[in-house]
A and B are shown apart, each in its own frame.
Chain A
């Protein structure tokens, strides 16, 4: 089934099927180019047996979503997720109590920003594309197809509103980020000193409480 955790890149049923970590699916030629594969992994994940049979795309011919977007967005989602995991481990290593480094490195700061803006956004979006495109042609799986549920509104009208929403949200995101930075700067420049000596107390480092 194409919506499964590790969509197999082949069209016929295979025993002991490999999982492709990456590749470029070619729907016309029915093959995955430049594939990097782990032998037998797809069979193990989907059937819990090394030699289990994994059905190919032909088994559900006519009820298939476009393969390439699902294949790629799924790998993008998993890749970003693993990257975020790696960043959290690097961060834990750099911030461990007896680390010689006094402040978090700029690499860590940059990685954190990327996790928030690129990682969360991109990863969630890619995951969403995987489920939504992967469910096609169904809207409610096995009950209602997208074509049956589509309303009478002409496509150009939908394109127009989509463009309006995207334009508005882009503007709002810019305003939002600008406001967040403005408020953050306001706190650092305007906050009155808290200690009697007139200087701000030193910021506490994560994990440094007992050091």
Chain B
């Protein structure tokens, strides 16, 4: 990592990295936060009619604030790394368009499922879950394309399709974990069942990305498997494995415990899923840094002028604590089990 160490000496070197860190934080927060409400939206398709209102109510106070992280992340990409923004969003044009269609359908369905009349409610519920599925699949496909450096060959497409399904699974795991915390009764038990299925999909996705990234470039392979590093990095995959084990065990025990009216540990699956997402994100960041587009564009090559970056940096120092603040604040305010839908 010599190039990174020398880069840290001057603002032209460390500023792009600092802003990349902020952008990374926004993307991680987006995957986790919108991940759970996209997951709840996806699971809406599998739920009974009576549970759907409770499920929507459980994400009601949070979902649109969660989406602001995506705006922040892509906004920083545009102003701080314009060439990378052009390259990435140009290569991902179609999945981005489909994601927007999905997010639009979801956003509209959120209100119209209650305001559009009882005869139309089933239709809007379908739009809600279809929009969630479409957005998740599109995001997973984009992740797969980005990790493989937009090569555009058949293998990369197949890999991206696999990641699309797996990220949908990860969102479902987050959503199911959320429902286990936020609901009671039959819905809670169903959520445990959904979480077990999606845990498998998440595992396939983590393994696939871990296996594929070292194969994308020799430099990434060396970074993971050169001798001192492979030992120092071992805690990362081991901790991930441990989290999978903990979540699996918790999901196995929860149904009997819930039957006895014992809600102990109903936050474990969600916390575990968040941990898995964070570790996967960290591993990916370690693999790909300093590339914004693998083997084509580094953070420094793509960075705007230092003056522009200073402005963005100062702006982010003001805005970021506010967004983090209301996100942290809103969750305890609406803590506890979801109550009946009112709006």
Which residues does A use to contact B, with CB under 8 Å?
151-153, 157-158, 160-161, 164-165, 168, 172, 175, 178-179, 182-183
- Could you jot down 14 A-B contacts, CB within 8 Å? A151-B86, A151-B90, A153-B90, A157-B94, A158-B93, A161-B93, A161-B97, A164-B97, A168-B101, A168-B105, A172-B108, A175-B108, A175-B116, A183-B115
> In chain A, what residue has the closest Cβ to B93?
A153
Q: Which residues of A contact B90 (CB under 8 A)?
A: 151-153
Q: Which residues of B contact A178 (CB under 8 A)?
A: 116
Among A164, A175, A183, the one with the most B-chain Cβ atoms within 10 Å of its Cβ is A175
Q: Which residues of B contact A175 (CB under 8 A)?
A: 108, 112, 116
Q: Which residues of B contact A160 (CB under 8 A)?
A: 94
Among A157, A160, A161, the one with the most B-chain Cβ atoms within 10 Å of its Cβ is A161
List residues of B (97-115) whose CB comes within 8 Å of A's CBs: 97, 101, 104-105, 108, 112, 115
CB contact under 8 A between A151 and B112, given known A168-B101, A182-B117 = no
Chain B, interface residues (CB within 8 Å), range: 10 to 19
Bound: A157/B97 CA distance, A? 10
Q: Which residues of A contact B97 (CB under 8 A)?
A: 161, 164-165
Q: Which residues of B contact A168 (CB under 8 A)?
A: 101, 104-105
Q: Which residues of A contact B108 (CB under 8 A)?
A: 172, 175
> In chain A, what residue has the closest Cβ to B124?
A175
Q: Which residues of A contact B101 (CB under 8 A)?
A: 164-165, 168
Q: Which residues of B contact A183 (CB under 8 A)?
A: 115
Bound: A158/B97 CA distance, A? 10
Contact between B86 and A179, CB atoms less than 8 A apart:
no
Q: Which residues of B contact A158 (CB under 8 A)?
A: 93
List residues of B (273-311) whose CB comes within 8 Å of A's CBs: none
Q: Which residues of A contact B93 (CB under 8 A)?
A: 151, 153, 157-158, 161
List residues of B (62-103) whose CB comes within 8 Å of A's CBs: 86, 90, 93-94, 97, 101
> In chain B, what residue has the closest Cβ to A151?
B90
Bound: A168/B130 CA distance, A? 14
Q: Closest Cβ of chain A: how far from B136's Cβ, in Å?
A: 18
Bound: A151/B85 CA distance, A? 11
Q: Which residues of B contact A152 (CB under 8 A)?
A: 90
Bound: A175/B115 CA distance, A? 11
The 10 closest A-B pairs by CB, nearest first: A161-B97, A153-B93, A151-B90, A179-B116, A152-B90, A179-B115, A182-B117, A168-B101, A172-B108, A153-B90
Bound: A178/B115 CA distance, A? 10
Contact between B86 and A182, CB atoms less than 8 A apart:
no
Q: Closest Cβ of chain A: how far from B107's Cβ, in Å?
A: 10
Contact between A179 and B112, CB atoms less than 8 A apart:
yes
> In chain B, what residue has the closest Cβ to A167?
B101
> In chain B, what residue has the closest Cβ to A172?
B108
Bound: A152/B90 CA distance, A? 7
Q: Closest Cβ of chain B: how far from A177's Cβ, in Å?
A: 12
> In chain B, what residue has the closest Cβ to A178?
B116
Kindly identify which residue among A161, A165, A179 contacts B94, using a CB–CB cutoff of 8 Å.
Answer: A161
Q: Which residues of B contact A165 (CB under 8 A)?
A: 97, 101
Q: Which residues of B contact A161 (CB under 8 A)?
A: 93-94, 97
Bound: A182/B115 CA distance, A? 9
Bound: A161/B92 CA distance, A? 13
> In chain A, what residue has the closest Cβ to B87?
A152
Q: Closest Cβ of chain A: how far from B189's Cβ, in Å?
A: 35
Bound: A148/B94 CA distance, A? 21
Bound: A157/B94 CA distance, A? 8
Contact between A182 and B94, CB atoms less than 8 A apart:
no
> In chain A, what residue has the closest Cβ to B96?
A161
> In chain A, what residue has the closest Cβ to B100?
A165
> In chain B, what residue has the closest Cβ to A164?
B101
